[in-house]
Structures are given as C-alpha cells and as structure tokens.
Chain A
Amino acid sequence: GAVVSQHPSRVICKSGTSVKIECRSLDFQATTMFWYRQFPKQSLMLMATSNEGSKATYEQGVEKDKFLINHASLTLSTLTVTSAHPEDSSFYICSARSGLAGRYNEQFFGPGTRLTVL
C-alpha cells in the first residue's frame, strides 16, 4: 500500500513554543490531507481537511490560529501547533487521500506524532 510519513515521530517542547509536524505522501500525490488528534484510549478526532493550494477547512471547535495547516504541494502538508500548552499534548495523525480515479476510496495514515508539552 501507499506510504505516508510523519516527522517527527515524537517531540517534547516547553510551554509557549511552536511545533511543526510534517506529513508526506511518499509514492502518490495526495489531493486531500487530513489531520487528526487522538487522546489515549480514545478515537481519532478530525481537526481539519486540507486541499493542495487552498486554505484548510477546520472542524468545529478547532482553533485555526492555534493549529496552522499548510498544504503547499501534492506530497506535503504541515501542522504547526503555535504557542503550545500542556493541554495540546496528544497524538497527532495525518492522513492522505489520492485523487486518482479508481483509488478514491484509499486513505492512508501516517505513523503519528506524539507531542508532549511541558
């Protein structure tokens, strides 16, 4: 199957700093990328949907100024957690969907990034 990478896999930062997480589709062009957040033992909650070259669409309750998403190319999306606080500590997972006909149903997930804010 297709591969989606995330970097870094784990990050620990001080409160007030900003953290950038990269998501790359390695062997296909992702017209749409998604960012999810997952707390321990809980489900994945969609934060935002981004299409290449356009502004991200945020889910209700997600602060767009707090979680900046950039989908600069068909293979790269970034999530920046600005002025991180301990309550932002979570597991962040990106997902990428191919726009190719016949592969529309395929949505692949990155390995996730565990963020710990001290």
Chain B
Amino acid sequence: AQKITQTQPGMFVQEKEAVTLDCTYDTSDPSYGLFWYKQPSSGEMIFLIYQGSYDQQNATEGRYSLNFQKARKSANLVISASQLGDSAMYFCAMRGPTGANSKLTFGKGITLSVRP
C-alpha cells in the first residue's frame, strides 16, 4: 500500500525567503512518481512539479525544486524567493502502482502563509 505523510501543520515564511515543505512516502513498488500540487483558496489544484523514482536528478520548475532523497523516502518541495501569491495549501502525492489505472495518493497537505 502507498502512503504519503505530511506532518507540518502550517508554515510561515517571509516574502522573498525560501521555504521547504516536507513530504515522506512509503511504497513497495520500485516504480512510482511523486507530485506536488498547490491549492489556493479558489480550490483548483495546480500542478507544480514531478519526480520519477528512476530520475537521477532532482526536478526543478522555475522557483520550485524537489529535494528527492530516495533512500530516506522523502520528496521535499523547496520554494525559492517566496511571493505573496504562494500562500496556499500544498499537497504531496504519489502515483502507483505502475499501470494504466495507477492512482494518485495525496498527503493531508500543508498550509503555507507568506508574510509581507
């Protein structure tokens, strides 16, 4: 069974500073994908970044980077140069097992508040 754990209850960061959102996972499948999504108050889920289990390098997308430590089963999201618009709920998710009907399993989410 897959499991995603996000334990930080809420995070605060000063505008323009970097912040790390933690995510650990557990799976017995050797092939899996890790995702981060942002959900602002409007409710839409915005895809941020993807990391495949066999990817050798950490994924980066603009101000977002994923600190992938496979041995520790962690996939932390780093947001650099925080902006006020980054205030939202952030979900870590894992997809597996492999196959056409593989499903996304979400963590419980982390609320990020960016202070001016």
* A34 in contact with B106 given A1-B47, A111-B42, A112-B44 (CB within 8 Å): no
Q: Is the CB of B42 within 8 A of A44?
A: no
B108 and A111 within 8 A (CB): no
Asked whether A28 is an interface residue with its Cβ less than 8 Å from the other chain, the reply is no
Interface residues on A, range: 20 to 34
A57 touches B108 (CB 8 A): no
A107 in contact with B42 given A1-B47, A43-B91, A44-B91 (CB within 8 Å): no
Q: Which of A32, A95, A105, A108 contacts B100 (CB 8 A)?
A: A32
Closest to B101 in A: A49
Number of A-B residue pairs with CB-CB distance less than 8 Å in the complex they form: 53
**30 pairs, CB–CB < 8 Å, chain A vs chain B:** A1-B47, A32-B100, A32-B101, A34-B103, A34-B104, A42-B108, A43-B91, A43-B106, A43-B108, A43-B109, A44-B45, A44-B91, A44-B106, A46-B105, A49-B101, A51-B100, A57-B101, A93-B43, A93-B45, A95-B45, A99-B100, A105-B50, A105-B95, A106-B47, A109-B37, A109-B45, A110-B44, A112-B44, A112-B45, A114-B43
